[in-house]
Structure 1
Amino acid sequence: MYISLRIRLLLIFTLVLTIPFLTLSLLVPEWFGTIMEKKTTEATVEMMDQFSQYSDSLTSQVEDLGKQVLVNPATQEWVRSEENGLSDSDLLYMKNQLKTELSSMMVNNSKSMSVSVYLNDGTGTSQTLPPLREIVWFKEFYDYDQRWMRSHHEWNEDEVNSYLLPLFDLNTMDLSGVIKVNFPTIQLEESLEKVKLGDEGHVSLLDAKGRDVLGGNPDISSDIVKMSLHEMKDHSGRTGVVEVTKGETKHLVFYQKMGVGDWILMSEIKKSDLYAPVHSLQRNLLLISGWIFLLTILISYILSSNIVKPLWKLTESMKLVEKGKFSEAEKGFPAIRTRNDEIGYAVKAFKNTTKTLDQLIKTEYQEKIRRKDAEYKALLLQINPHFLNNTLEVIGGLSAQGENRKVIDVTVHLGRMLSYSLDTERDVVTIREEINYMRRYTEVLKLRHEDALHIQIEEDPALDNVPIIKFVLQPLVENAVKYSFIRNDVASIGISTRKVGDEAVLIVEDNGIGIPGTVIKELAKIDRNENNVLDSRGKSIGLKNVLGRLKLSYGNRFSYSIENKDPGGTRITLIIAMEKEESEE
């Protein structure tokens, strides 16, 4: 039996909206109140968890800062200063050094924390106190291990809470004083304000004695706090809720034991205030249910009218698209009254998709060209970091040897090489520019290897203005130098350019160990698959890079040969067939 979409919508709206409201109004008011209580409890616990997570994060940063101060060399030197019998000027210098270290740590901290370090005699980085054993907060820390202090006024700050950490010599483990890390109380107050328990609820952060950690008197009355703490003794869980009675009024108290010292987060509300919205809601549910039933019928009719007809037209157009008749499908698209609903969006999206298909087919060739250019850039980027690292190693080595003049020479060469390398406006240069770049590069190598490296450069003036992509010679020369020193104490490198007919020939040769036949076969794969070089691993990555980029740039106009010379060495020949204009120049 066929049932129209309009009738289905009427049935769905009736089942989903009207019947549930009638059921809630007539049959389960008490159950509804239980649900409200459960939801309120879950929401309260969730807000308390969020505060707990925030406070844990904040106090963890405070503890980490205290530990950083403890292990800081400046702190340890100051701890040992009294034992070393230093002069007053030396002690003052060490104290100022420590204050500088503390200032640096506080500047890098995003929580506005401050740190003071005090020795047992009261000497401190921020102020001088009486001997620590005479101070109340130190006695609580020393006798009862109370590391987290309630809110108080520091001598140069607003209200703060503090974390106390024993100050001791890491070598002898002798207690020498205390590290006091302060953080603004307002950070906890602002986070605590987000914990809400209805309009009439109260929230406080207390210690195990019922005192407000944030200073002043708790928002929750002292009687309720005492009764709640007493009830909590019978609960072993970290979180929970207890019910206490003050006079004739019942109160719900939600609590969570914090991971910080003996702190307890406590939220309190009268049960009558908690359930007041539920009672009011129950009285109005019946009336609302009647109105919802009438509105359901009206809305179902309107929505079905705006959905069924456009969907039918859209379905017909989709059938035409399946047959490849895009122009006919576009004419049959339903008219869109508004684009702010799902049907309007679906029609618009399908119409745009149809147009996009044709555009994608036309632009496929352009995408291939862009991918080829991106691959070329990726290959080029493999060179620059390697070159810069090697050059910096040369500068570092010369500096260590005190060769200041050579450092200046290398720096000048490096600056000009970087200017050439970082010229991103040009990927193609002349052969003369590439040879000039290699002259600077080889000068850097000569400064590094001195008399152990001989480099000869021969260039054909006829190729000076012939264009070529950047960095085709540097990786080859770099490899030639590297492998020549494996078997020889002296490396001999030759670089030459020649014009042979309509071809530009570039040659790099050395007296090294040669290239294994397996590597030469692997390099031949670049001719069959240009993408292999991007995934290359292991040896000869520089040579693979050069061959890959030349293949990408020149295609069939590029060829090469690799020869192992007798008795030793390698000759790599790069051959580029010049265009007619380049050959005439």
Structure 2
Amino acid sequence: MNHRIKKHPLHLLRGTLRTKMLTLFLCLIAIPLSLQGMITYSKFTTSTEERTAEYTAQIVHQINQNLDRNMEEMKRLSLMPLYDNSILSILRELGGSAQAPLYLSTEKRQKMTLYISSLSYSRPEVKGIQIMSLNGLVFSNLDPSTMKAQVDLRKEEWYSRVLAGNGASVIIPSHRPAYYVDTSLDRYFSVARLLREPNTNLPLGIIKIDMKMEMIDQILTNMPFTKEGSLIIGNQQQELFYEKRENETTPGYQALLQETAGLVHPGQSGRTISLQGQRYLLIDNVSARTGLTVISMIPIDSLLKDSNDLRSFTILIAAIFLVVAGGLASYFAYSLSRPLVSLKEKMLQVEQGHFHERVPVSSADEIGKLSEQFNHMVEEINRLVNEVYVISLREREAELAALQSQIHPHFIYNTLEAINMMAIRAGNYDVSDMVSSLGKLMRYTVDRGDGFVTLAQELESLSSYVRIQQTRLGDRIQVVMEVDESLRDAPIPKLLLQPLLENAIYHGIERQERGGTIWLSVTRDAEAMQISVRDNGKGMTQPELIRLRSSVSIPFHQNEASSSQRTGTALRNIYQRITLLYGVGYHLMMDSQAGQGSIFSLRIPIENEKRAMGHVQSLASGG
């Protein structure tokens, strides 16, 4: 059918194919290249921020894990006095109140000092470990000249926290303890615990472990950070534990508190904030064990240095490619249009019914592949046309044969019925059963129908066939049927199962003197019906199996010369019917071993016959 080409107001659509291709190439090249720099810059910038955020988050998480390990070790260390009865005895002697006596023998003081020194042994991160009675006496591992012998605990800021901890470990932020008498301004953070009498739970004293800030510096030794950034460690009360800034201009803890709502924003790690007129990438991590928050702030400008260089380089490359692409577009427009014109001419000839036309393939690119696919399509169309034609002829021959087989069917049925009655009168019940089964089998076979029956009808006919064979072979043959009851009303092609059993009997069981067993299995597999026929007959050798597999897949119209050889004809008929009705995804499968038997299985969709016939019609129409 010819269609008039509708005119379009755009001049582009009225040009030749080469003009259209050249214009299209230039547009496809110029527009992406003009946007490529901006898009690449945006993507690279975003990717850089994301990678930096992810990498920094891993580092911050690792720092918090290292802090957790150190803090857990200090917490465990603060429990040790509770397991030493001598230390507890000394604390009991000093009393559990501020009014307890201040005197303690030299021996007991020395014992306390040695015990505390043993706790601090090989712990360079610990400044000092102090055990204090409630009346303010201080015992420490440090030189007595650097320590006060007694302090007023009530004046210490950390003291109320320890009491509020009620025996649990308490992490105290950066502070300067009053019991140190040295003139340095060094600050420490601590882990402290209220020591209680194990039996009465009465308070006995306090253990306080002061840790150096160098411990955090040691954790950060192998952690790379940008020089423009800063690292802050605080707690849930917004108190500072540690702060590291590479220069004084970098915003730190105070700036973060003043210009934001707090140190921690749950679920917002990796966000961008603005401090002192500059944008920063903020990454934080909160420890579930200690409640400490590790925060890293990186200036956005430092992250975008590479992005700016990439933007300039991309603009230069885009300009060069635009010039080169213009020349290549002209060349390819001509090269691509030439084989397309040839392909168009061949398509017109095929449209007129010349299915022997082929397109010469002169390249291995997409156009060459298109030409190859076109040639393959034409070959396939030609094959399908011939196949449908042959199938149509064979269907007519089959209809004619069916008509011929129906000549006087009532006469044959009446004759069989008469033989059946004579056998019953004579007491030959085996003959009666065999004649009755033969009559049912003939009625089922001769009945034309529409090519489809239910599985139950097919099994009923198959039972008649089996009774005939069992009458003929006696105990030499056993047939076991296992059928999924939910499939009995499912439609299947008529006379699909009998050839499989017939093949198993004649080529497997009958040739064995001892006979054998045939197993028929019909099961459901998702939306398909799985049918298998297995026997323990003589089986086949591997060369025989290979020849049989090859022969069943050959279409009948391609093997007319060997039509006199009937080996595998029934199996080939099943293979061709299944493929024709349901497509190449469904076919007959077979396996066998000499002396062990054979198995034939096929898989068909659980669908109605209209859908199967629709597939045949689509093949006939070339769909």
User: Normalising by structure 1, what TM-score?
Assistant: 0.40
**Structure that is richer in helix per residue:** 1
User: Normalising by structure 2, what TM-score?
Assistant: 0.38
